[in-house]
Amino acid sequence: MHNTTPDADRARARIRRRVGPRLAARCVLGPRRYNLCVIHEARYWEPTADGRVRCTLCPRDCVLREGQAGFCYVRKNVDGRLVSLAYGTSTGFAVDPIEKKPLNHFHPGTTALSFGTAGCNLGCRFCQNWDISKARLDELASLEGLTPEAVVALAKAQGAPAIAFTYNDPVIWAEWAVDVARAAHAAGLWTVFVTAGYVSAAARAGIFQHMDAANVDLKAFTEGFYARWTLSHLAPVLETLEWLARETKVWVEVTNLVIPGLNDAPEETRALSAWVREHMGPDVPLHLTAFHPAFKMTDRPPTPPATLTRARAIARGEGLRYVYTGNVHDPDGQTTFCPGCGAAVIERDWHAVRAVRLRGSACAACGTEIAGRFGPVTRTSDGERRSLGLRV
Task: Kindly tell me the sign of the dihedral angle through the C-alpha atoms of 224, 226, 227, 233.
Answer: negative
Do 51 and 112 fall within a single domain? no
The beta-carbon contacts of 241-244 under 8 Å, at least 24 apart in sequence, are: 241/197, 241/216, 241/276, 241/279, 241/280, 242/279, 242/280, 243/201, 243/204, 244/208, 244/214, 244/216, 244/280
Predicted pLDDT of residue 98: 97
The CATH number of whichever domain residue 121 belongs to comes to 3.20.20.70
Question: Model pTM?
Answer: 0.89
Predicted pLDDT of residue 153: 95
CA–CA dist 366, 344 (Å, integer): 11
Nearest to 173 by CA among 258, 82, 101, 98: 82
Q: CB–CB of 139/118 below 8 Å?
A: yes
CA–CA dist 129, 146 (Å, integer): 23
Do 80 and 106 fall within a single domain? no
Predicted pLDDT of residue 10: 61
Do 77 and 11 fall within a single domain? no
Do 302 and 211 fall within a single domain? yes
Nearest to 197 by CA among 226, 175, 176, 224: 226
Do 24 and 121 fall within a single domain? no
Q: Is the peptide bond before 6 cis (omega within 30 degrees of 0)?
A: no
Do 156 and 51 fall within a single domain? no
Do 44 and 11 fall within a single domain? no
Domain total for the chain? 3
CA–CA dist 346, 350 (Å, integer): 12
Predicted pLDDT of residue 40: 85
Give the DSSP per-residue string, 257-304: EE-TTTT--HHHHHHHHHHHHHHT-TTS-EEEEE---BTTB-SSPPPP
User: Based on the number of CB atoms within 10 Å of its own CB, is 154 exposed (0-12), middle (13-18) or buried (19 or more)?
Assistant: buried
Do 33 and 54 fall within a single domain? no
CA–CA dist 138, 73 (Å, integer): 10
Which residues form the domain of 17?
A: 1-38
- 348 strand-pairing partners: 353
Do 76 and 127 fall within a single domain? no
What three-state secondary structure class fits 104? Answer: coil
Predicted pLDDT of residue 127: 82
Do 161 and 73 fall within a single domain? no
Instruction: List per-residue pLDDT tens for the chain, 392 residues long.
Output: 344 556 556 655 655 554 555 555 545 433 333 333 457 889 999 999 998 999 999 999 999 999 999 999 999 999 899 999 999 989 889 999 999 999 999 999 999 999 999 889 999 988 866 555 444 554 444 566 789 999 999 999 999 999 999 999 999 999 999 999 999 999 999 999 999 999 999 999 999 999 999 999 999 999 999 999 999 999 999 999 999 999 999 999 999 999 999 999 999 999 999 999 999 999 999 999 999 987 777 889 999 999 999 999 999 999 999 999 999 999 999 999 999 999 999 999 999 999 999 999 999 999 999 999 998 888 899 989 998 865 44
User: Based on the number of CB atoms within 10 Å of its own CB, is 83 exposed (0-12), middle (13-18) or buried (19 or more)?
Assistant: buried
Query: In whole angstroms, how large is the CA radius of gyration of the chain?
Result: 22
Measure CA 124 to chain center.
14
CA–CA dist 257, 288 (Å, integer): 6
CA–CA dist 362, 356 (Å, integer): 11
Measure CA 247 to chain center.
20
Do 173 and 154 fall within a single domain? yes
Do 7 and 109 fall within a single domain? no
